[in-house]
Structure 1
């Protein structure tokens, strides 16, 4: 079998390939898509970093390809849908850069507390100025951690060694596990109020985008210091600029930015801001670790062994895969829909499979649901192998049951999610042509294809409410493609689902929520 190695993957990381008899390694520099298409049919595996784009066209010609490995965490440069349709496993190395990112965060916290980069620059310029760099000690200070995944947990562990007090916000963390670490889990606002240093370790999602903004900064202590080594865009950089200029924020340390490369940010004018060019995974050890980890995964895949870090499809025999495959996308969509509907910590998930589904091996379908729900809201890499483990570690009870009969449908998947705000129920089915249809929202019958942009609006069944919502959306030139209303009785509670052609601005969502008779409004994008 032949393995194609691209993008300058660390030579030491190729040892697992060299130790495996019968593997031929072909190392090349970055190739154009045309060059890759020309040679790809001869390879059984490929390992890339971030430069090479594994496009649908490349995969279409990869007739012998078994597995594609990404020497790193993100797989944005690999078309997962095309790989799945081709039957190609995609693997990554989610753990290899954890320590590197955690240690950079600690370096940022220490550098920020003692102005190390600024003092170094001043001294090198020929000026000895001790008074200008009065620092603060970390011992006894409170570190607020937003996101307690692998990296956030490792930062907390190291900060505890510095005798800091740790408070954390993570709606999906197991509180008992956090308490054993010495970490106190609190609501977001309480973490913001208590933190002397605030470090971010969350993925960038619709919910976390500009989470740190003018309003949330106003809640923080005067003199707070903010660190972001996670994802650009979680901090509203204009709001941070204004807060530093006013003195509200005493300093910031940023490794990531909303737009990268970033060499012209207004934040450069401040001497109390440390900025680095996305160095989170830039250590010799991290680059070696991710290469070794993904090489081992590729070898396992080529040998037909268990692969831990697949990011697209579960390991199933051909017959089982053929039967459940149509339902994997349905489950993923249902999970993603739930993720955008729920509020607060999830305690339990109950999945009920009815009709034809009851005769199938439903565990991979459950896994697809968990991946669809957890992946958008956690910084951790959630895949078909670890989704169930992550749910368990987060204290989420998962129950799956089957029922032979499905009222009105040949197959029906019902997902009940129990969280702090209450119970949310969604049910979906596959209709003719294996097209997914959402058929129930919190007990209200609807018939919606879950795709694109949607508004879910619980309301009282009264005249003019639907018209007011349509008018508010129309004022932003957003077209309504389809509308469904589910109700149980005239004049009672109902739910409206609008399929729309564009993103609805936050101010419009707030305006809709204020319409008399509207109970809630959720924007869902799939």
Structure 2
């Protein structure tokens, strides 16, 4: 067998491949696209970090390719759809750099509080300005952590040791988990307004892009300090520069940027109260070894046809299982993604009901897939088919499976019932042979919509003109409606509407619709 390694990874990780008999490990870094196509032609496995772009053409050229390993978390540089279509597994190492990233965040926070980099530069230039670099203590200060996943949780643990009060914001943070961590569960608005320090630990998504923008900088506590060691783009850099110049923000420490490498003339480079590092969050000897070792062990297991972990696209299934379950895996994940956007608050319980062919025991793969969609919407590449169960456990989410031989309406059906502090939602889907996965029930109302694309969901009072007013707002925003489903139980009572639309809705349009008299709920859902 041949294992092709095209990015620099730890030698300790490469040594793991010695467990395989008759294996050639070929390390070829800095390949051109043409050279990569040639090198992968006879490879059984490909190991990359973030530099190699694994396109559909690369995957197609790997005629013997069985597995792609990403020594790290993010898989943005790998065409997952192309890999899945060709039956190539993609695995990552989601746990290896957690401590490194948390420690780097804390190092940035302490350096920011005590002006360490600036004082160091001053001293090296021959000056001695003790009075100029008076800092603040962390003890007694309020830290807002936006994103309470693995890294955010580790930051919270360290902050508590330093005597800080921690406000935690995360759509999946339950009160029970917050209490166990000693964290005050908070809304985004309250966390930003009350914090002395703010650190972000979310993936970069449509929902988190410019999570802290110019408008939110108007609500922060004067003198707040901000840290971003997660993803560039979560904080609006232009708005931050303005807030720094105005003195609203006392300082910022950034390890990641909207465009990397950071432009030489970027205004952040010229600010004295800013600390910048070149994306070093995972750059420790231990973290690089951990991710290399972790991904190498899983590749060995795949090539030995043994059980493995951290599959990003498909779990370990027999060919017969794949043929039966693959359509349901797609439906299950889409239902999980839908539920994540429908929920108001963190789910505390979820019941997954399978009927018909979907009810055949499958070792829990479909339920894992539902959870992968549910948590993956928020945490992206950190969640895979294996660790999704652990995410549920850590979030305090109680998961139950129910299997029934016959459905109420459809022969083969997957249904979700999940409860948050704000109520319970129901969601069902089925497979139509001619049109694939469909959403067929929403909160007790029968509907029939494809489980893909961009949807607008409203719950409203059933009265004349309601649909027209919503349609007018969409028309004014140049948004086409491709399909519509409405449901009601009685005239003049509560009704729902689900629209399939051609593009994402701007936030201001969603706010306009939410402000219509009689609208009780609006959700923009992207599948």
TM-score after normalising by structure 2: 0.94
Q: Greater shift after overlay, 29-38 or 13-22?
A: 29-38
The unaligned stretches of length 5 or more in structure 1 are none
Alignment of 1:477-488 (within 5 A): 477-488=478-489
Q: Deviation at 1:174?
A: 5.3
Give the structure 2 partner of residue 173 of structure 1: 173
Task: Map Cα deviations across residues 155-213 of structure 1 (whole Å, 9 max, x no partner).
Answer: 22223333333332233235445544443333334433442222111222333222223
Call closer, same or farther: CA 1:88–1:358 in 2, change over 3 Å: same
Residue aligning to 1:422: 423
Q: Is the 8 A contact 1:75 1:92 kept in 2?
A: yes
3-state DSSP class of the match of 1:410?
A: coil
List per-residue Cα deviations over 1:456-493 (Å, max 9, x = no partner): 12222222222221221111222222222222233322
Q: Distance in 1 between matches of 2:175 and 2:506?
A: 34
Deviation at 1:443, TM superposition (A): 1.1
- Secondary structure of residue in 1 paired with 2:439: strand
Asked whether the equivalents of residues 73 and 381 of structure 2 are also in contact (C-alpha less than 8 Å), the reply is no
Equivalent residues of 1:5, 1:27 under 8 A apart: yes
Task: List gaps (5 residues or longer) in structure 2.
Answer: none
Q: What is the rounded CA distance, in whole Å, between the counterparts of 2:503 and 2:289 in structure 1?
A: 42
Kindly provide the CA deviation profile for residues 415-436 of structure 1, in whole angstroms up to 9, marking residues without a partner as x.
Answer: 1121122111111110023601
The aligned counterpart of 1:93 is: 93
Q: Is the 8 A contact 2:114 2:133 kept in 1?
A: yes
2:378 is matched with which residue? Answer: 377
Partner of 1:61: 61
Matched position secondary structure for 1:26: strand
1:343 matched to 2:344: yes
The range that moved more, 225-234 or 479-488, is 479-488
Aligned twin of 1:244: 244
Instruction: Please list the CA deviations of residues 11-61 of structure 1 after superposition, one character each: whole Å capped at 9, or x if unmatched.
Output: 332010134332211111233333333342311111111121222222223
The corresponding residue for 2:50 is 50
The 5-angstrom pairing of residues 191-340 of structure 1 reads 191-263=191-263, 264-340=265-341
Measure, in 2, the Cα distance between the counterparts of 1:15 and 1:166. 42
Q: Residues of 1 paired with 2:393 and 2:289: CA distance?
A: 30
Map of 2:358 onto structure 1: 357
Contact 1:326–1:434, Cα closer than 8 Å, also in 2: no
Distance 2:428 2:449 in 1: 11
Q: For residues 76 and 367 of structure 1, what CA distance do their matches in structure 2 show?
A: 22
Partners of 1:190 and 1:117 in 2: how far apart? 31
**For 1:56 and 1:279, how far apart are their aligned partners in 2?**
29
Query: Is the aligned partner of 1:465 residue 2:466?
Result: yes
Are the equivalent residues in 1 in contact too, given 2:145–2:169 (CA < 8 A)? yes
Distance 1:281 1:462 in 2: 55
- Once residues 518 and 173 of structure 1 are traced to their aligned partners in structure 2, the CA distance between those partners, rounded to angstroms, is 27
- Counterpart for residue 521 of structure 2: 520
* In structure 1, C-alpha distance between the alignment counterparts of 2:500 and 2:117, rounded to whole Å: 51
Q: CA deviation at 1:144?
A: 2.2
For residues 506 and 187 of structure 1, the distance between their equivalents in structure 2, rounded to whole angstroms, comes to: 18
CA drift of 1:82 comes to 1.7
Whole-Å Cα distance in 2 between the matches of residues 374 and 221 of structure 1? Answer: 31
Q: 4+ runs of 1 displaced by more than 6 Å? A: none
- Kept in 1: contact 2:312–2:381 (CA 8 A): no
User: What CA deviation, in whole Å up to 9, does each residue of 1:338-362 have, x standing for no partner?
Assistant: 1111121110111111223223527
> What secondary structure is seen at the aligned counterpart in 2 of 1:131?
coil
In structure 1, how many angstroms separate the alpha carbons of the residues matched to 2:249 and 2:41?
Answer: 55
| Other-structure match for 1:509 | 510
> How far apart are the structure 2 equivalents of 1:468 and 1:83?
44
In 1: Cα distance, 2:89 partner to 2:380 partner: 22
Bigger drift between 202-211 and 384-393 goes to 202-211
SS at match of 1:520: strand
CA, structure 1 residues 475+317, in 2 after alignment: closer, same or farther (shift >3 Å)? same
In structure 2, do the counterparts of structure 1 residues 262 and 306 end up closer, same or farther at CA, with 3 Å as the change threshold?
same
Deviation at 1:108, TM superposition (A): 0.6
Q: C-alpha separation between the residues in 2 aligned to 1:133 and 1:488?
A: 67
CA RMSD of aligned residues (A): 2.0
For 2:505 and 2:420, the matched residues in 1 are separated by 26
Q: Are 2:204 and 2:231, in contact at CA under 8 Å, matched by a contact in 1?
A: yes
Q: How many residues align?
A: 526
Q: Structure 1: how far apart are the matches of 2:110 and 2:370?
A: 41
What is the distance in 2 between the residues matched to 1:221 and 1:332? 40
Please identify, of 306-315 and 167-176, the stretch whose mean Cα deviation from structure 2 is larger.
167-176
Q: Alpha-carbon deviations, 1:106-161, whole Å to 9, x = none?
A: 11111101111111222333433222211112223222222222212222222333
